[in-house]
Structure formats: structure tokens, C-alpha cells
Amino acid sequence: MTRTSLSGVACSIARATDLFGDAWTALIMRDVLVGIRRFDELAEDIGLSRKTLAARLALLVEEGVLTRERYQVTPPREEYVATEKGREFYPVLLALMAWGDKWYAGPAGPPAQIRHDACGHLATPVVACDACRDPLTVADTTQLPGPGGRVGPGTQLLGPLIAARGDGVPAPDTAQNPVRSAPS
Amino acid sequence: MTRTSLSGVACSIARATDLFGDAWTALIMRDVLVGIRRFDELAEDIGLSRKTLAARLALLVEEGVLTRERYQVTPPREEYVATEKGREFYPVLLALMAWGDKWYAGPAGPPAQIRHDACGHLATPVVACDACRDPLTVADTTQLPGPGGRVGPGTQLLGPLIAARGDGVPAPDTAQNPVRSAPS
DNA sequence: ATTTGTAAGTTCCCTTAGGGAACCTGGCGG
DNA sequence: CCGCCAGGTTCCCTAAGGGAACTTACAAAT
């Protein structure tokens, strides 16, 4: 597949998807963060081939997202645990899950819920502005070039266009039913 | 690749990654939401083959995330615009971008910045609890089975383990048989 | 002292997604 | 009539990924 390594591209989304753009990788992180850390468990739970799992885990370790640790010396047994970098990926998974819950949950509701232990509520994760804590949407944000901005292919910074077209005037009503119960 | 379609899996992360697990798909969404909407522009900006772009766009349209619209009748020209479902994916991209910025930004800083027009600040997107608006982390959340929870492979709900092991604490014990709730 | 069992990978073969690049199809503008 | 976009298709070929068997290292059971 050539894996055109997007690492050279300036956009952080590209950087991140270069690692997590693989469907498996995100699922591995979910499992590891949720307590499934052993090779065989991961293979079975996620349902990917042992070969590919080994490759992904090696990549994640190389990237410093996971570490491989011996949790038992004899017989030697390894497990994969998330580094801080890996743990901080959890919120991204929560945001993804919230989106999936909203648009793909069946009539019964979402398959899992998140309890925010700090406040005790069942949480619906929202992506918010760190300054005012209000939710961020495509309509009320603008992308600006950043200090590290090598603007090149992969990073057109067309902020203003968003406000113009992104929301307010959705082309001839394209609204769809949020609940889509029959996946192909 | 067989694309083992994860649609059957209960976890919403799996559902979402089934669509966005492709590195290209997330980049397409980023571009479309940021104003790059035409076929050739997308192909060039993202750097993927026209063939694969056509396939991904068709998938995204089929999934109701984008619509294909004629923005000019003569000569006929098409563009892809995000539906509400697609626009609501933007926060997920922001969360991903924030993670990428934090862990991959070079010394110069991130390549792009987000201005939250509502409050005027440059925003660092955070994933927060909708109830208390505090950031959600792996350490202070617990995964619970949800109403639609067909717990199966792909959704072990081992919430308590997170608090125990997710942060700080190395490895309390070798929980051989974790809490694994019985499948219904 | 073999046999069995288990965790964690490897290796082999084979299918197929995806890259590169050329080709196709309307509908102009000159 | 000729070329030239935009927006795709088609063809060929590489290599990523699935399935399944094999390997290594140890321990407990027979």
C-alpha cells in the first residue's frame, strides 16, 4: 500500500491519522486503556490477525504510545500499557465514541456509557474550548495558520470559508435521520 | 483486506472507526469542512489516488456524512459538502488535532490554530464532561454497560480497572481473569 | 521424562485494497 | 474543430492483511 507516510505534512490531523488512521490501532488503544493488555486477549477481542496485531503493537511501542512490560517473570509474560502520550489519546476516543453513539446507536441506546467519577454524572463527552468551556463547532471556529505552519499541500487554511458555508446555510435541506439502525 | 466490517460490533468506537479508520477518510473530512470540496482539489491536497478518493467519497455519501452537489450547472461541476452528521464530526477532528499538536508539534509550534469565534480566544480543544465541563481523562472516568449494550467481542466493559491502573499506579496485581461481564 | 498447556509471537501462502498513470466523458471557449 | 478543464474509470502491479500452522520458553500434570 506504500503507506505514503503523511509525517511530512504539516497538519496535526495528518500526523495523528498517520498513526491512528488504521482502524485497528484505535481499537487497540481503546482495549489497552480499558484493561485488555495481553496479546492473545487483544487478538481475540478485536478480531484481527495475530500478525497484524504484532505489527501494530510494535508501531505503537515505537511511537511511545504504549510500552511493552513484563508483568510476570516466569514464565515470561508481557503486557502492553499506555504511556502518558497513550493515555492522553483517550479523550479522542471518547469524542469519537460520542459521535458514534449519536449517529449509530440503535433504538436501544448506546452500547456503553461513560461515568465521570469526578462529578458523578453519566457524561456525554463534548469537545470544548479550553478558555470558555463552550462546545466547539465547525460554525464558530476559524482555522488560523500556526507558528509551526509550513503551509503546504495538506494545510490550506481557509478559515473564513467555514463560517460562510459550513453551517448556517446548509444546502437544500440535507438533514438526515440521526438514528440509523440498519448498517449495511 | 476483507474489511472485516466492524459494524456488528457493539462498541461505538468500532462503528466510527469502521468509517473513519481509514487515514484518508479523516483527512477528506478535514478538507471538506475547511473548504476544500472539489474532487481534484481533494486529490491533490491530500495526495491520495483519484481511484481511492472516488471510493471514499462514495462511501461517505452513502453513509450520509457528505452529499454530492452540483454547484454549477454549465458545465456541470460537483462538490462535496458535509451534512449535519458530517459537521458534527469536526469536534472529533479537533480533539485529534489537539493530541497531534501536543505530541508532534515541532519546536516552532503547531501548524495551525483554532480561534473560537464565540469567545475570541485561541482554543486548545479539550474533551469535557457535558455536565460539569471538566476535562475527561482515563483516570477519572469509568465505562459502564449502556442500554444498547450487546456486550460481545469488542466491548469488554472493565471500567473499574481503569481507575486502578490507568494512571500512576503501575500494576496492582496480575488480574488473570478480569471483570469480564458475561455476555447476554 | 515425556506430554500437555499457555502466552506471545513468526512464518507461509493467498487474496485484495490501493498507488500510478493513462484513458474516458461532457461541455464549453476560442 | 481543437484543446482543456473537472470529475471520474480502467488497467496493471505491489504489498498489506487474513488464516492457520509453526516456534519458543516455561510450568504443571501424567
CB B151 within 8 A of CB B181: yes
Q: Predicted confidence band at B149 (pLDDT cuts at 50, 70, 90)?
A: low
In a domain, A180, yes or no: no
B144-155 core/surface letters (b: 16 or more CB in 10 A; e: else): ebbebbbbeebb
Same domain membership, residue B45 and residue B115: no
Same domain membership, residue B12 and residue B76: yes
B147 contacts A175? CB cut-off 8 A: no
Q: Are strands A141-145 and B112-116 parallel, antiparallel or unpaired?
A: antiparallel
Grid coordinates representing B28 are: 477528506
CB A151 within 8 A of CB A145: yes
Cis peptide before A75 (omega within 30 of 0): yes
Same domain membership, residue A78 and residue A135: no
In a domain, B172, yes or no: no
In a domain, B178, yes or no: no
A175 contacts on B by Cβ (under 8 Å):
83-84
Residue of chain A nearest B5, judged by CA positions: A184
Q: DSSP assignment, residue B65?
A: S
- What local confidence, expressed as pLDDT, does residue A10 receive? 59
In a domain, A123, yes or no: no
User: Among residues B39, B13, B150, which one has the least CA distance to residue A125?
Assistant: B13
Q: Predicted confidence band at B18 (pLDDT cuts at 50, 70, 90)?
A: confident
Same domain membership, residue A152 and residue A82: no
B48 contacts A127? CB cut-off 8 A: no
Grid coordinates representing A145 are: 495558520
Instruction: Find residues whose C-beta atom lies within 7 angstroms of strand C.
Output: A 1-2, 4, 38-41, 50-51, 54, 57, 68, 75, 77-79; B 1-3, 22, 24, 48-52, 55, 74-76
Q: Does A137 touch chain B (CB under 8 A)?
A: yes
B84 contacts A138? CB cut-off 8 A: no
Same domain membership, residue A73 and residue A21: yes
Mean local confidence (pLDDT), A163-179: 32
Q: What is the DSSP string of A20-48?
A: HTSHHHHHHHHHHHHT--SHHHHIIIII-
Mean local confidence (pLDDT), A113-128: 97
Is the confidence at residue B136, as pLDDT, over 50? yes
Grid coordinates representing A3 are: 503507506
E strands within chain A?
66-72, 77-82, 112-116, 122-123, 125-129, 141-145
Same domain membership, residue B82 and residue B33: yes
Q: Predicted confidence band at A139 (pLDDT cuts at 50, 70, 90)?
A: very high
Q: What is the DSSP string of B77-92?
A: EEEEEE-HHHHTTHHH
Same domain membership, residue B106 and residue B153: no
A48 touches strand D (CB under 7 A): yes
Is the confidence at residue B169, as pLDDT, over 90? no
Which residues neighbour A38 within 8 Å (Cβ) at sequence distance 6 or greater? Answer: A77, A78, A79, A80
In a domain, A97, yes or no: no
Same domain membership, residue B106 and residue B52: no
What is the span of the domain harbouring residue B57? 6-87
Q: Higher confidence at residue A125 or residue A166?
A: A125
Same domain membership, residue B53 and residue B23: yes
Please give the tally of structural domains in chain A. Answer: 2
In a domain, A165, yes or no: yes
In a domain, A103, yes or no: no
In a domain, B174, yes or no: no
Residue of chain A nearest B103, judged by CA positions: A85
- What local confidence, expressed as pLDDT, does residue B111 receive? 87
A74 touches strand D (CB under 7 A): yes
**Which of B62, B115, B162 lies nearest to residue A144, judging by beta carbons?**
B115
Same domain membership, residue B79 and residue B98: no
Backbone angles phi, psi at B56, to 5 degrees: -65, -40
Mean pLDDT, rounded, of chain B: 79
Question: What CATH number is given to the structural domain containing B23?
Answer: 1.10.10.10
Tell me which of A26, A53, A87 is where a domain ends. Answer: A87
Q: DSSP assignment, residue B183?
A: P
The amino acid occupying position B70 is: R
Tell me which of A87, A116, A149 is where a domain ends. Answer: A87
Same domain membership, residue B82 and residue B30: yes
